[in-house]
Chains A and B, each alone.
Chain A
Amino acid sequence: EVQLLESGGGLIQPGESLRLSCAASGFTFANFDMSWVRQAPGKGLEWVSTINGGGTKTYYSDSVKGRFTISRDNSRKTLYLQMNSLTAEDTAIYFCANAGFSAPQYSFGFVVDNWGQGTLVTVSS
């Protein structure tokens, strides 16, 4: 069974930094692009960032580019999101997912698309 477990969220002051982690199990982690998607309270989903399976290519939304850094440790099967210079607008539940980025991802002929339960980041003074 695929599991994605986010951690690292919490209450933080504006301007500070936070690192989120996402521990993966149940699939060959290194073979899949991984993404962070966030959801502000009562709002829709917002794509944040994606990293390819090898960790060599990263992509960011304009709203976080230059402040957030996505990375992964395939030996630990863990995805990270380093978030710097946080503002109130970054307050959201942060989900990690192995959803397809430019195209669907497949395993043994079946589409792969799994999400964690999310971790809440609250930026407030």
Chain B
Amino acid sequence: QSALTQPASVSGSPGQSVTISCTGTSSDVGAFKSVSWYQQHPGKAPKLILFDVTSRPPGVSNRFSGSKSGNTASLTISDLEADDEADYHCTSFTRSTTRVFGGGTKVTVL
């Protein structure tokens, strides 16, 4: 049950786009549609922003988009805003009937 691999940090200026990768294996990210992304502000509970790779829950901005290629999923935040500064976590279901998270990525808005 190795954690998915995410970059520790990414940064961008307001209005720019940033992309966060989430690399797993053929036993998790590569095998299932059930890849989700969470946004977490300091001291707060995680908030679901994408599920099933590309789907957004109601109320989540369409500036958040997702994709997957092989064993790597990606989250893109377009038109970066100050409130996007947070930690972002990816997660996938696995062939072992478990769930695995990435190490988290801190997004800094410059």
Question: Which A residues fall within an 8 A CB radius of B?
Answer: 35, 37, 43-47, 50, 59-63, 95, 99-104, 110-111, 113, 115-118
Tally of contacts, chain A with chain B, CB under 8 A: 72
Whole-angstrom distance between the alpha carbons of A12 and B45 in the complex? 23
Query: In the complex, how many angstroms separate the beta carbon of A29 from the nearest chain B beta carbon?
Result: 18
Question: Which B residues fall within an 8 A CB radius of A?
Answer: 1, 3, 6, 34, 36, 38, 40, 44-48, 51-52, 55, 57-58, 87, 89, 91, 93, 97-104
Of A35, A103, A113, A118, the contact of B34 (CB 8 Å cutoff): A103
Q: A37-B46, A113-B51 are in contact. List 8 more A-B contacts (CB 8 A).
A: A44-B103, A45-B91, A47-B98, A47-B101, A99-B48, A110-B57, A111-B48, A111-B51
Query: In the complex, how many angstroms separate the beta carbon of B103 from the nearest chain A beta carbon?
Result: 4
Query: In the complex, how many angstroms separate the beta carbon of A105 from the nearest chain B beta carbon?
Result: 10
Chain A contact residues: helix, strand, loop or mixed? loop
Asked if B93 and A102 make an inter-chain contact with CB atoms under 8 angstroms apart, the answer reads yes
A100 / chain B contacts, CB cutoff of 8 Å: 34, 36, 51
Of A45, A110, A115, A116, the contact of B101 (CB 8 Å cutoff): A45
Of B47, B57, B98, the contact of A111 (CB 8 Å cutoff): B57
Of A95, A101, A117, the contact of B93 (CB 8 Å cutoff): A101
> Known contacts being A47-B100, A59-B98, is A95 close to B46, with CB within 8 Å?
yes
A43 / chain B contacts, CB cutoff of 8 Å: 103-104
Whole-angstrom distance between the alpha carbons of A100 and B33 in the complex? 12
Whole-angstrom distance between the alpha carbons of A44 and B52 in the complex? 21
Whole-angstrom distance between the alpha carbons of A115 and B93 in the complex? 18
Whole-angstrom distance between the alpha carbons of A115 and B36 in the complex? 14
B38 / chain A contacts, CB cutoff of 8 Å: 45
Question: In chain B, what residue has the closest Cβ to A116?
Answer: B45
> Known contacts being A44-B101, A44-B103, is A115 close to B45, with CB within 8 Å?
yes
